[in-house]
Structure 1
Amino acid sequence: MASLFGAAASPSTSTTIGDLKNDVAISNPPEDSISDLTFSPTADILAVSSWDKKVRIYQIASNGTSEGKHIYEHDAPVLSVDFSKDGNKLVSCGADKQAKVCDLQTLQTAQVAAHDNTVKCARFFELPGSSGPMLVTGSWDKTIKYWDLRAQNPVGTVTCQDRVYTMDVRNSLLVVGTADRYINVINLQDPLKFYKTLQSPLKWQTRVVSCFTDASGFAIGSIEGRCAIQYVEDKDSSSNFSFKCHRDPPAGNVTNVYALNDISFHPQHGTFSTAGSDGTFHFWDKDAKHRLKGYPTVGGSITATTFNSSGSIFAYAVGYDWAKGYYANNPNYPNKVMLHPIQGDECKPRPSVKKR
């Protein structure tokens, strides 16, 4: 029998309800809600940022067991983490108004960026001809800043319409979501101006933006249990669409809706996950406009998700996301990171139906 995270693939099933029985919790998780998760592009190394002001780095073995490798601190809650393309550097940022980079080889940490308010997100990117990884940070001070890791001051600053809530990078595509539902699209070959600005097609606050694997567009998630698929270049009117998710079935005149907290794209298949305050995650095929799998509730809100580089592991964080305010929090609320082995065709695109 293959190991839990081994190569054995379960046979294709017609059911759209997924199974959680093989999911494994990582050992020694953070002591407070988890804000972000990211896998190294070059190894099964998982970085976890938390409201307990710490960044933790775990080595994940092929059988799903985890071992803590390193931990470092910020002066306030940490809100975002991201690995460089070569896996050698990890950036983290948060409510202490700064970003830090940890060198994975020396385990030395240095401050590399500063803002006038909370830094909500940080992402590495590389441009053709550049001498190394660059950094972009987005803040509640309504700016995004670009950083060369060898320089003390930002190499560029762009002012946004409002506070930066979410940001993602893929190749030369940078997408920035701010308060008041603004979405800014930037071509990193021309980084100091907006290539496009739109107001989110979703009616409520943007929680997350996530770039397609081929960088042709991005997905948007809102607090109202909806997801929008948006192409950078509008091919035709039907290519952009939105759909409902993370909602309870209507009961009388009431439908409970939940925040969509994170969207992650599968690195090989281009399919994607949504996860939310309702404690469920789902896999979707945007091209077929089809839900591949839905999963039962995991017993608490899902605050962050990520796939490993091979797409064989889906990691999700369970913890309180404050969607129901102070009164709904309690000391017994679960706080953990789970590893879900991708089995069989869970994330494979739906076969296209060929006409005879």
Structure 2
Amino acid sequence: MSTQFELAQNPVDVISAVKFARNDHNRLLVSSWDRNAYLYDTHAEPGGTLIRKFEHPAPVMDICFGRDDNEAFSCCLDWNVRRIDLTTGDLTILSQHEKGVRNVVFSATHNLLISSSWDETLHLHNLSTPGQHAIVKVESKPFSISVSATKLVVAMSSRAVSIYELATLQEASTISGHAQPPVWQNRESSMKYMTRAVCCMPNDAGYASSSIEGRVAVEWFDPSEESQARKYAFKCHRQTVDGADVVYPVHALAFHPVHGTFASGGGDCVVALWDAVGKRRIRQYQRFPSSISTVDFSADGRMMAVGVSPGYENATEDVPDGPTKVFIRTLTENEAQAKKK
């Protein structure tokens, strides 16, 4: 039976990311504009337990687990990328960008931490060689990044998308300073408006991206004409209000690690599940109390974390009143499974 509950001891400002650990499926990291990162045990007791809070000097924009469940990495509006020892609470600066850092992702296969900043660069941190990092200039301002088993997708302003091979980035990461690894593919977004999120498929076949204008696009890596003909975009997260069609930004995307379906979350306070291959909606959940800012599935696919924050799409300091909460949903065995035709 599916159940849903609200985490106890929630952040007090906009939630920027929720991330489950790879091994302990009850372990959850949450980053927030309240300048903290939080580590929870979601099922230690009813409502979960806050294990530890990690204070930063500025809003924390993203977070991810590292080489094991006791290591994390964060990025911040103070321009810094940090390693967090989740056991001792120690924070160590790994690199500093020249503007705020929007995203951080880790590839366990390549032992590679990648951060993306509004200074139009990526920082490549090869964890085998601590103390140095490579700086990669990208085409424009990165809005969202995601890794698959072999690829990094960088979604940027001006509707630009760059796809890198992680093996190439791993090689470049051994350089201390500026590096310019070749881009595997440059693409233009399938959507007309600004990209909000990008997320790679768990089978390494492609990715989904979302826009501020209530659309999601699904594309495949294979550059063949036949494969590229499969890509499509669709409208979602829209509501009729007083007879008018209101369009909401789609802030969050997350692929289910087992079934390969994906969740989208929008400014309409709704999370929906989609079958990317079958091009159909599987289900839509009842409205949450605030705009959906972030979504993630546990590695075993049995849980979904949903971060909600009022006025998230406005990105202003004058956040309207409303709840800032994290919800944990335990999924039934077939809840996120594509429906048979």
TM-score normalised per structure 1? 0.86
1:303 and 1:109, CA in 2 relative to 1: closer, same or farther beyond 3 A? same
1:26 and 1:240, CA in 2 relative to 1: closer, same or farther beyond 3 A? same
Contact 1:212 1:265 in 2 (8 A): yes
Q: Secondary structure of 1:190's match? A: helix
Distance apart, 1:172 and its partner CA = 1.6
Partner of residue 229 from structure 1, selected from 210, 218, 230: 218
RMSD over aligned Cα atoms = 1.9
Distance apart, 1:176 and its partner CA = 0.6
The 2-side partners of 1:75 and 1:95 are apart by 9
Q: Which residue of 1 aligns with 2:197?
A: 208
Q: Secondary structure of 2:167's match? A: coil
Q: Secondary structure of 1:124's match? A: strand
Which range is displaced more, 183-192 or 45-54?
Answer: 183-192
Q: Which residue of 2 aligns with 1:34?
A: 15
Give % identity: 27
Q: Secondary structure of 2:247's match? A: coil
Structure 2 gaps, min length 5: 170-180
Q: 2:207 matched to 1:218?
A: yes
Partner of residue 235 from structure 2, selected from 220, 229, 244: 244
The 2-side partners of 1:127 and 1:328 are apart by 41
TM-score normalised per structure 2? 0.90
Distance apart, 1:268 and its partner CA = 0.7
Which deviations, in whole Å up to 9, do the C-alpha atoms of 1:190-221 show, x marking residues without a partner? 12221011111100000000000011100001
In the TM superposition, what are the counterparts of 1:140-159 in structure 2 within 5 Å?
A: 140-149=118-127, 150-154=129-133, 156-159=134-137
Q: Which runs of 4+ in 1 moved over 4 A?
A: 324-328
Distance apart, 1:327 and its partner CA = 9.9
1:62 and 1:53, CA in 2 relative to 1: closer, same or farther beyond 3 A? closer
Q: Which residue of 2 aligns with 1:59?
A: 41
1:340 and 1:114, CA in 2 relative to 1: closer, same or farther beyond 3 A? same
1:293 and 1:62, CA in 2 relative to 1: closer, same or farther beyond 3 A? farther
The 2-side partners of 1:67 and 1:119 are apart by 29
Distance apart, 1:28 and its partner CA = 0.5
The 2-side partners of 1:308 and 1:89 are apart by 17
The 2-side partners of 1:174 and 1:218 are apart by 10
Contact 1:34 1:51 in 2 (8 A): yes
1:309 and 1:236, CA in 2 relative to 1: closer, same or farther beyond 3 A? closer
Partner of residue 187 from structure 1, selected from 160, 165, 182: 165
1:205 and 1:87, CA in 2 relative to 1: closer, same or farther beyond 3 A? same
The amino acid that maps onto 2:6 is: A
Distance apart, 1:94 and its partner CA = 1.4
Higher normalized strand content (fraction of residues): 2
Structure 1 gaps, min length 5: 1-8, 11-21
Q: Secondary structure of 1:323's match? A: helix
Q: 2:290 matched to 1:300?
A: yes
